Structure 1
Amino acid sequence: MSLFRVFVDGAVFYHPNLSKLAITEARISEDAESIDNLTLSAPHNHPYLTSIKPMQSVIVCKKNDETVFEGRALDDGSDFYNTHTWTCESCLAYLKDTVQPPYSYKGTLRGLLEYFISVHNGAVEDKKKFTVGNVTVTDDNDYISYSSSGFTVTLDAIRDKLIKTHGGYLRVRYTDNGKVLDYLADFSTHSLQTVEFGKNLLDVKISRDHTERASALIPLGALIKETDAEGQEMETNRRVDITSVNDGKNYVCDEDAVSEIGWIWTSEIWEDVTLPGNLLRKAKARMQELAKGVTSMELTIVDESDAGADIGDIRARMYVRCISKLHGIDGTYLCLSRTVDYLNPAGNTITIGASGITLSSASARQDQNISDLSDELVGVTGEIKTINEQKMYRTETYVDGVNIFRDKGQHSILRCRVFSWDKEITELLDASSFVWHRNSGDEAADADWDASHVGMKYITVTTEDVQDNASFYCEITI
């Protein structure tokens, strides 16, 4: 079992084996595209309530020996029962504490990031300093030219001059020599766990934002520079476009999207792109995203590493294999965000980002046909035949009790409900249709367990059923 602890300014604030240092909440929200957050709560009788100084104390969360969060508290509040709660932000927020003075820079992407960080480090105390680590984002010319005449917050300068123009992600690594800031085009870490229906996947929410869709894009690049009669170079108000490399057209489009939603136009500017060919390539890649719209999946999971399995956990900034044939999901996706409650891991969620999601054609057909499905169920035998012909099924497993057994003698009731879209049909099915399965890694023992859990719409699971580690699911035959 993994060991989760909280430290404040180097001193232990929470340890699961010390009852005097109990807390009531430790929820971390990771975000690959922004700043991670921690919600920390402790009861009124915690001996070190006053040790947390907002904007001053360094709060560190460790899972075993690995740092999973480092940052500072933003506020301190209490409720009716005098439970204290702190909202905390990760150390990446330290880059909001400094400003970049007016500058003019010409050179590589890495050089610009190093310049920003050096200015930042020169204006803060040691605990807020960073070292630039891996930089895998590239520029076609390996040369950029930026300037600013005002004072800009360091994090805003990095986002405006690097991330918005060249993409990529910021990642903080915690090392023995301090905090290392990476600027990555993509993440290379893959989770050893698989998120799978019937195993550790509890819920699925798929969101599609069609308001962000477009079928045609007019791309614009950097401002064009000209030399005047005196030989001085000056910028014009005209920008690089793609007409010279795109058969005279200044736009790209997606024919399938045009056929589906008609002509919906948009325009975007790439300030650093000076070559029409590079602008065309970026525009085509962007057009593929715009044609699909924004899609994300929120998956509620049981992280097997929190359940005692000897396997790495699932984090934001990792690629995760996700499988749920019922929802048309089968692929390896980037986990953009994760919410993990270290005191109650059963409610953990991960969010899969838009760029990696592809749903199967079966799932797409379900969306198209949903409006044609009948609204009411009539009869008994005949209606199940109709459902089988016209509707797709889904099941929901409800746990009355805890998802993870921590002490001997615990038990939970698992109930399986069957839906045909929004209509529950559990009562229409005979109990013989329900077959429960256990997956503990011992195939022979699991087969015996399965044989004794046939024909039940709900079951009682005890610590004797779990032993080391096990997951359960129900198979329905209709």
Structure 2
Amino acid sequence: MYRVIWYQDYNDKQGRVIHDISEAAPKLVNGVIKQELGSTPTFNFTASLNNPCFGKLKPLISLITVINTRTGIKEFEGRIRKIDNLKMDSAGNFSQVIQAVGLMDYLHDSSQRWKDVSVSDLRNYLQTIIDRHNATVQDHKRFKIGEVTVNSNNGNVYRGIGYDSTFNTLKDKLLDRLGGMLILENQQGEMTLNYYASYGVKVNQPITVARNMIEVSKSINSDELITRIVPTGAEIEKEENDNSILARERVTISSVNDGRDYLDDEDLIKEFGIIESSVNWSDTNQPSYLKVKGEQYLRDQRVALITWGVTTVNLDLLDDRYKPYILGNYYPIDNKFIDDIVYQQIVEKTIDINQPHKIDLVLGSSKQTLSAFQLQYRGLSDQIENAKSGISNAQKTLAELKIEAAELREVANKVPEQEKMLRELEEEIARQEQANSSAQQTLTQTQANQKETIDQQAKQIEEQAKQISNQEARIKALENKK
């Protein structure tokens, strides 16, 4: 299902297959692709001594592509980043562990130069950074700007560009300050960098217990909770004799906030108490702008980080009605024993090229506002109370209880059966292929034997015909003598 192709460098357009499911193709010992939304994907794999790429890969030069041969989708495309030393185990088997990273890694190959940028348009600011990168690197490492949907109208002032790498500049100046995500599209060697505020679409293909859900977990983290924020801005310039190097005073909101340098979220304080933390906007010099940013931060206060970890059965291998899981899309998680049905975005996807039927997903990392958190919490509390009341008040018959127990037992049993069913299907396919091969060999041998028998019988018939002809001639001669 997964084909791995190795290219010696960017000039190599043909490449060489180093892994494929066909029997005659070479195989990698293992290979795992990790895709993360808005980040550079990785492909870690191990090659044995008999693989064509063993000992021949070059860091930063050799390229790797992984293609899903069923869908035609490129699941990974990038360059070799790290190669471990050649290893030999106690049994004398040689192997090599390699890490490849996605093409966005090219943004590490250039550094920016100081520039005082006064443009307010986000697209032009991004273009300025990418233009510097493109002027530095070779043609195959260059990017063009695609869609830009992030809203920069929030009071941020771009003070300039420093000397960091292009990748770190984009992270510091854009991603860390404005949010959003960089998504790379590579079409026939033309790399387009999109800067999206949001990404993905809803797909009505549930991840459901007892159907395509093998394992699931849900975690809630409130480490980022702040109920009182102290907004700070740029450093305040002091007189020349100020020798302080440990800390400098910063702009605060005291002058525009009745002498208080902090902002409270009363609802959060009622719920969780006072949890104070300062948040810095180092490029803001005006207290009024700083206060607006602090108030916006509180409105967007993030209380709970909800993350789902799901291991799924890849049903599109067995049923064309199912589609492959796509990073960034939203899917409904249906497991009534953990939570109500909820759409969550795939933010991480892990593929094992030797186990194509099983995919590990991380869905969510969605941060909820206080109101949403409270609604969910109270809703769950109500469900628990309703369940308690139902247990105490409902008069269920023994038959009804048995039916519910059977349904739960069926759910529990079906989950491990998914993998068993797939293994049995693969074994049956292999058995039938072997049986067909044996049957073909038997048929070929039978046909050869039958041809040999027919040839022998033809000779015998010919000899018998001659004998009959001779006998008829003798009989005729005897009759003539009489």
Whether 1:165 aligns to 2:177 is yes
Residues 192 and 246 (structure 1 numbering): CA distance in 2 closer, same or farther, change over 3 Å? farther
Q: Distance in 2 between matches of 1:310 and 1:405?
A: 21
The more displaced of 174-183 and 259-268 is: 259-268
- Which amino acid letter does the alignment assign opposite residue 270 of structure 1? W
Going by fraction, where is helix more abundant, 1 or 2? 2
The more displaced of 93-102 and 274-283 is: 274-283
Whether 1:398 aligns to 2:416 is yes
Spell out the pairing of 1:267-278 with structure 2 (5 A cutoff).
267-271=278-282, 275=289, 278=292
Whether 1:72 aligns to 2:68 is no
SS at match of 1:21: coil
- Which amino acid letter does the alignment assign opposite residue 314 of structure 2? D
Whether 1:299 aligns to 2:310 is yes
Residues 222 and 347 (structure 1 numbering): CA distance in 2 closer, same or farther, change over 3 Å? farther
SS at match of 1:162: helix
Q: Distance in 2 between matches of 1:5 and 1:405?
A: 23
Residues 322 and 243 (structure 1 numbering): CA distance in 2 closer, same or farther, change over 3 Å? farther
What do residues 338-367 of structure 1 show as CA deviations (whole Å, max 9, x unaligned)?
111132034421112332567855884499
Spell out the pairing of 1:437-448 with structure 2 (5 A cutoff).
none
Deviation at 1:127, TM superposition (A): 2.4
Residues 265 and 174 (structure 1 numbering): CA distance in 2 closer, same or farther, change over 3 Å? same
Deviation at 1:303, TM superposition (A): 2.8
2:297 aligned partner: 283
SS at match of 1:17: coil
- Which amino acid letter does the alignment assign opposite residue 4 of structure 1? Y
What do residues 379-418 of structure 1 show as CA deviations (whole Å, max 9, x unaligned)?
xxxxxx9xx9xxx99947335746466636279xxxxxxx
SS at match of 1:119: helix
SS at match of 1:297: strand
Q: 1:132 aligns with which of 138, 145, 149?
A: 145
Contact 1:205/1:298 (<8 A) preserved:
yes
Whether 1:314 aligns to 2:325 is yes
Q: Distance in 2 between matches of 1:325 and 1:103?
A: 55
Contact 2:232/2:252 (<8 A) preserved:
yes
Q: 1:407 aligns with which of 418, 426, 435?
A: 426
Contact 2:83/2:98 (<8 A) preserved:
yes
Deviation at 1:156, TM superposition (A): 0.7
Q: TM-score, normalised on structure 2?
A: 0.68
Q: 1:94 aligns with which of 106, 114, 118?
A: 106
What do residues 236-260 of structure 1 show as CA deviations (whole Å, max 9, x unaligned)?
95436498479977313252x4344
Whether 1:338 aligns to 2:349 is yes
Spell out the pairing of 1:324-363 with structure 2 (5 A cutoff).
324-355=335-366, 360-361=376-377
Deviation at 1:106, TM superposition (A): 1.6
Q: Distance in 2 between matches of 1:404 and 1:172?
A: 36
Residues 44 and 401 (structure 1 numbering): CA distance in 2 closer, same or farther, change over 3 Å? farther
1:378 aligned partner: none
Residues 89 and 405 (structure 1 numbering): CA distance in 2 closer, same or farther, change over 3 Å? farther
Q: 2:52 aligns with which of 47, 52, 59?
A: 47
Deviation at 1:316, TM superposition (A): 2.5
Q: Distance in 2 between matches of 1:44 and 1:362?
A: 59
Q: 2:122 aligns with which of 87, 105, 109?
A: 109
The more displaced of 78-87 and 110-119 is: 78-87
Please tell me whether Structure 1 or Structure 2 has the larger radius of gyration of its CA atoms. 2
Whether 1:217 aligns to 2:222 is no
For the aligned residue pairs, the C-alpha RMSD in angstroms reads 3.7
Residues 18 and 173 (structure 1 numbering): CA distance in 2 closer, same or farther, change over 3 Å? farther
Deviation at 1:200, TM superposition (A): 1.1
Deviation at 1:49, TM superposition (A): 2.4
- Which amino acid letter does the alignment assign opposite residue 119 of structure 1? R
Deviation at 1:188, TM superposition (A): 3.3
Deviation at 1:308, TM superposition (A): 5.2
What do residues 280-312 of structure 1 show as CA deviations (whole Å, max 9, x unaligned)?
55212332x0xx233312111123334453543
Contact 2:305/2:367 (<8 A) preserved:
no
Residues 362 and 84 (structure 1 numbering): CA distance in 2 closer, same or farther, change over 3 Å? farther
Residues 260 and 345 (structure 1 numbering): CA distance in 2 closer, same or farther, change over 3 Å? farther
Q: TM-score, normalised on structure 1?
A: 0.68
Give the count of matched residue pairs: 377
What do residues 46-91 of structure 1 show as CA deviations (whole Å, max 9, x unaligned)?
2332442222111112224332211122214546232333111111
Whether 1:16 aligns to 2:21 is yes
Q: Distance in 1 between matches of 2:420 and 2:349?
A: 24
Whether 1:206 aligns to 2:224 is no
Contact 1:54/1:75 (<8 A) preserved:
yes
Q: Distance in 1 between matches of 2:261 and 2:156?
A: 28
Contact 1:296/1:351 (<8 A) preserved:
yes
Whether 1:122 aligns to 2:135 is yes
Q: Distance in 1 between matches of 2:269 and 2:134?
A: 50
- Which amino acid letter does the alignment assign opposite residue 134 of structure 1? E
SS at match of 1:326: coil
Residues 285 and 199 (structure 1 numbering): CA distance in 2 closer, same or farther, change over 3 Å? farther
Contact 1:328/1:362 (<8 A) preserved:
no
Going by fraction, where is strand more abundant, 1 or 2? 1
- Which amino acid letter does the alignment assign opposite residue 163 of structure 1? L
SS at match of 2:206: strand
Q: Distance in 2 between matches of 1:211 and 1:407?
A: 45
1:261 aligned partner: 272
- Which amino acid letter does the alignment assign opposite residue 192 of structure 2? V
Query: Among the aligned pairs, what percent are the same residue?
Result: 19
The more displaced of 392-401 and 5-14 is: 392-401
What 5-or-longer segments of structure 1 have no aligned partner?
226-235, 370-384, 412-478
What 5-or-longer segments of structure 2 have no aligned partner?
8-13, 238-247, 386-400, 431-482
